[in-house]
Amino acid sequence: MDLKDDNLEKYILAHIDSEPDYLKKLVRDTNLHTLKPRMLSGHLQGRMLKMFCSMMSAKRILEIGTFTGYSALCMAESLPEDGELHTIEINDELEDFLLQLFDTNGYSSKIHLHIGDASQIIPTLDGLFDVVFMDGNKRHYMDYYQAVFPKLRLGGLIIADNTLWDGHVLEDSKDAQTIGIQKFNDLIMTDDRVERVIVPVRDGMTLIKKKNN
């Protein structure tokens, strides 16, 4: 959930790892050049993503929904020298911007950008992943989950973003995105192959740990 108290949010941001300058610039560029800059993870969530990947000692990370690359860069910061992050974005208008961004910041060899629909690209990816960050189309979270589950190593972590959907999960809604998130949350709750917890930060992040295949 969003922090309603600005002073508390300022306090938190002043007492966690700072946002690197290159990410501050990315926030400014995203605000200037995109229609929905709020989609970007931001300082607190970005540092959390980096921390989760680091705690998992992740060497292979998969992201669904790159947008302007903020979360991909945060997670890539945690990678060891031989680590890699694959990120999938359906909007091909972002491709040139993202390739230049990753190159300028020294991540062109670690971050592999796939342009296209995640549901089609995931089955083509080889090998197992340690961490998957799901942040694509909310209507398709169940499909992404089914597709990535076989690609996640035992003990691996799926981080699903926006799982409280601004509180709309409590509503009897006809909105396709709300219904997509509600169905996803219900599915995760009944899947005995995983452990799960919802972290009520920002728009809700569900941490899903794979216990068995």
Distance in Å from the first CA to the final CA of the chain: 31
How far apart, in whole angstroms, are the C-alpha atoms of residue 15 and residue 30?
A: 25
Residue 142 Cβ vs ligand SAM, minimum distance, rounded to whole Å: 13
Alpha-carbon separation of residue 12 from 5, 32, 44, 187, 192 (angstroms)? 11, 26, 8, 33, 35
**Residue 65 near ligand SAM by CB under 6 A:** yes
**Residue 136 near ligand SAM by CB under 6 A:** yes
From residue 24 to residue 43, the character string flagging contacts with ligand SAM as x (rule: CB under 6 A) and all else as - is: ---------------xxx--
Applying CB under 6 A, the span of 8-16, 86-94, 122-130, 189-197 interacting with ligand SAM comes to: 86-94
**Is the C-alpha dihedral spanning 89, 94, 95, 99 positive or negative?**
negative
**Residue 89 near ligand SAM by CB under 6 A:** yes
118-126 LR contacts (CB < 8 Å, sep 24+) = 118/64, 118/65, 118/88, 118/90, 118/144, 118/147, 119/143, 119/144, 119/147, 121/88, 122/62, 122/64, 122/88, 122/147, 122/148, 122/151, 123/147, 125/62, 125/86, 125/151
**Residue 78 near ligand SAM by CB under 6 A:** no
Residue 152 Cβ vs ligand SAM, minimum distance, rounded to whole Å: 18
**Residue 184 near ligand SAM by CB under 6 A:** no
Residue 88 Cβ vs ligand SAM, minimum distance, rounded to whole Å: 5
Could you say which of 52, 61, 67, 206 contacts ligand SAM (CB under 6 A)?
67
Q: Which is nearer to ligand SAM, 103 or 195 (CB)?
A: 103
Applying CB under 6 A, the span of 87-95, 100-108, 123-131, 196-204 interacting with ligand SAM comes to: 87-95
Could you say which of 53, 88, 111, 194 contacts ligand SAM (CB under 6 A)?
88
Q: What is the DSSP letter of 203?
A: T
**Residue 156 near ligand SAM by CB under 6 A:** no
- Return the closest-CA partner of residue 110 out of 134, 66, 76, 78: 76
Give me the residues that bind ligand SAM (CB under 6 A), please. Answer: 39-41, 64-65, 67, 70-71, 88-91, 117-119, 135-137, 140
